[in-house]
Amino acid sequence: MNDAIVLKYQISPDDFTRAGEASSDVKGKLKQLGISPEAVRKVAIAMYEGEINMVIHANGGEIVVEITPAEIKMVLADVGPGIPDVEKAMKAGYSTAPDEVRNLGFGAGMGLPNMKKYTDDMKIETTIGVGTTITMLVKL
């Protein structure tokens, strides 16, 4: 009975009104599981950051969330431009977001650092011109 619960979300590009819908849905489901509020918070923040990144930088993509009683795995896959310098991108405050996005209050350069901060494990696979897949893990 206890196979992983798999949730799939398509993230549409450049649609800031819908950005956050996926993470909000996941958050609601995690609360129904009755897992610790702290774990819910970590997943919600990390996934929201990732979702926003996909909207800003990567023409959208797909998020697959796998929930088991032991952990929550989030796989964020896009076919965007890829990240040229992962080390730089991981630095707090570093951002390549265009001005119009920053004017909306995004692009503070805290996306990837926050994703790392709020998860127990994060893996970035990226190829220039092909896309980026970020896998994040929050243990329960």
Partner 1 sequence: MDKFYHSVRLDQELCKGCINCIKRCPTQAIRVRNGKALINAKFCIDCGECIRVCPHHAKLAVYDKMDMMKSYRYTVALPAPSLYGQFNNLDDVNIVLNALQMMGFDDVFEVSAAAELVSEATREYLATHEDNLPIISTACPSVVRLIRVRFPNLISHLLPLNPPVEVAALLAAQSAMEKTGYKREEIGIFFISPCPSKVTYVKSPLGTEKSQVDHVLAIKDIYPQLLSRMNAVGEEREDLAISGKIGVSWGRSGGEASGLFTDNYLAADGIENVIRVLEDLEDQKFATLKFVELNACNGGCVGGVLTVENPYVAEVKLKRLRKYMPVARSHMDMQENADKLVSWTTTVQYEPVFSLGDNLMESFARLGQVERLCKRLPGLDCGSCGAPTCKALAEDIVRGQASEKDCVYYLRDSLHKLSEEVSALADDMHVGDKEELQMLRILKEYIQRISNEMSMLDSQEDEGEK
Residues binding partner 1 (CB under 8 A):
1-3, 5, 7, 20, 23-24, 27, 29, 31-35, 37-38, 40-41, 44-45, 48, 67-69, 140
Nearer residue to partner 1 within complex by CB, 32 or 87: 32
Q: Name the minimum Å distance from CB 66 to partner 1.
A: 12
- Which residue, 24 or 133, is less far from partner 1 as judged by CB? 24
Residue type, 125: E
Q: Which CB sits closer to partner 1, 7 or 79?
A: 7
**Cβ within 8 Å of residue 81, ≥6 positions away:** 57, 58, 128, 129
CB 123, min distance to partner 1, A: 23
For residue 4, the minimal CB distance to partner 1 (Å) is 9
From the list 4, 6, 18, the residue with the least C-alpha distance to 64 is 6
Give min distance, CB of 1 to partner 1, in A.
5
Q: Which residues contact 82 (CB under 8 A, 6 or more apart)?
A: 126, 127, 128, 129, 130, 131, 132
Other C-beta atoms closer than 10 Å to the C-beta of 61 total: 24
